[in-house]
Amino acid sequence: MKSVGKKVKGTLWIKIDSEKPQIEAIRIAADVIKKGGLVAFPTETVYGLGANALDSNAVASIFQAKERPADNPMIVHIANRKDLCRLARSVPHKAEKLTARFWPGPLTLIVKRSSLVPDVTVAGLDTVGIRMPSNEIALALIRESEVPIAAPSANRAGKPSPTTAQHVIEDLAGRIDVILDGGPTRVGVESTVIDMTKRIPQILRPGGTLFEELKAALGEVMLHPATLSEKQAATLRARAPGMKHRHYAPKAEMILVEGDPDKIVKRVKELAALSMADGRKVGILATDESISNYDGDVLRSLGSRSNMEEVARNLFRLLREFDEEKVDIIIAEGFPSRGLGLAVMNRLRRAASFNILRAG
């Protein structure tokens, strides 16, 4: 067999076409999955760290590689709708409606699990999160592996989710067998997680599928209070175990400034000036509209306020860039919590450890 990819600390890094994935590369990765190994792969949202969802040992090694707390369940990825019925004890009518409308895509459905799903995959819960990703590499990998693939985001626990293969290598080289590099991910924030076991479905994590779209499809949808929370979720009953863990956190201290765009700019400028006067290295997470107003050590724009898709796509990459630049403090602009802004603000608030400042 001709050699494919290159090794980084023992991890095989394979470049692959995201539209027409080369089957040879998929087969190499699928063999690793079948043998109980770990493969990082792109989805439309972020890179996932995959293993055979039905193999307890394989799933246990995901927790190890990521240093993920054992009480945080995995999302199980499927490529065929029939697998939802095999993995779920029952599929509520509303869940079927959502799969027809939003799959493949960034939507994870929480349903009661069947006996096929091992305890370790779902951290002992009686439910399982299932999604069908819309990335061709992800779908080909699941099909060729012939098993559902459990995959959390492919970052070290607590770090921003990876949106490029480079991010995965930074966090996990030497800890995983293969990475399929399909380039930067399209959506940039993770899937929306919705609990379908409730009479009124409840969003546990806002993400790439919009609350507004889910509401239009179902009529009634609730947002778990922690999704909008401006405080640490430990004070709330944490339904998604992931809610209570430290998340998306850059190494630097971070302050999130929320409010009207004009007032935000004024407060960010004041904060930056104060921090610089203290001799701190200041990073500012700005937008195209505001960036020229600022003075700081590392200035980055998430994109235009009028293009939240772009903002979401750039978010995790820029948080990682501030770490590389070793800034002492990140001052970030907030956004309105609607559309994709809901997911973006959910991540920003957690990244800032709920260190939020209201600008007027």
SS3 content of the chain, % helix, strand, coil (to 5): 35, 20, 45
Of 191, 209, 287, 314, the residue at the interface with ligand TXA (CB under 6 A) is 191
Dihedral angle of Cα 212, 216, 222, 227, to the nearest 10 degrees: -20
Residues 233 to 292 in contact with ligand TXA, rule: CB under 6 A: 240-242
Please report whether residue 45 would count as binding Mg ion according to CB under 5 A: no
CB 256 within 8 A of CB 348: yes
CB of 26 to ligand TXA, least distance (A): 17
Q: Which residues pair with 256 in a beta bridge?
A: 332, 356
CB of 165 to ligand TXA, least distance (A): 13
Q: Which does 357 bind (CB under 5 to 8 A by kind): ligand TXA, Mg ion, none?
A: none
CB 287 within 8 A of CB 305: yes
Residues 82 to 111 in contact with ligand TXA, rule: CB under 6 A: 106, 108, 110
Residue, CB closest to ligand TXA? 242
**No. of helices (H) and no. of strands (E), the chain:** 11, 17
What does the alpha-carbon distance between residue 335 and residue 287 come to, in Å, rounded to a whole number? Answer: 10
Of 39, 59, 65, 75, the residue at the interface with ligand TXA (CB under 6 A) is 75
- Applying CB under 5 A, the span of 28-36, 72-80, 150-158, 232-240 interacting with Mg ion comes to 150-158
CB of 125 to ligand TXA, least distance (A): 5
CB of 295 to Mg ion, least distance (A): 34
Please report whether residue 73 would count as binding ligand TXA according to CB under 6 A: yes
CB 221 within 8 A of CB 215: yes
Q: Which residues pair with 127 in a beta bridge?
A: 112
Residues 321 to 350 in contact with ligand TXA, rule: CB under 6 A: none
Alpha-helical runs (H) found in the chain: 23-34, 56-66, 82-87, 93-102, 136-145, 165-172, 211-218, 225-228, 261-277, 308-324, 341-351
**Residue 172 has what DSSP assignment?**
H
Residues 15 to 44 in contact with ligand TXA, rule: CB under 6 A: 43
Q: How many residues in the shown chain lie near Mg ion by CB under 5 A?
A: 1
- Applying CB under 6 A, the span of 3-11, 151-159, 251-259, 314-322 interacting with ligand TXA comes to 151-159
Candidates 276, 31, 72, 53; CA nearest to 177 is 31
Of 61, 99, 127, 209, the residue at the interface with ligand TXA (CB under 6 A) is 127
Q: Which does 268 bind (CB under 5 to 8 A by kind): Mg ion, ligand TXA, none?
A: none
Please report whether residue 153 would count as binding Mg ion according to CB under 5 A: yes
Where do contacts with Mg ion occur on this chain (CB under 5 A)?
Answer: 153
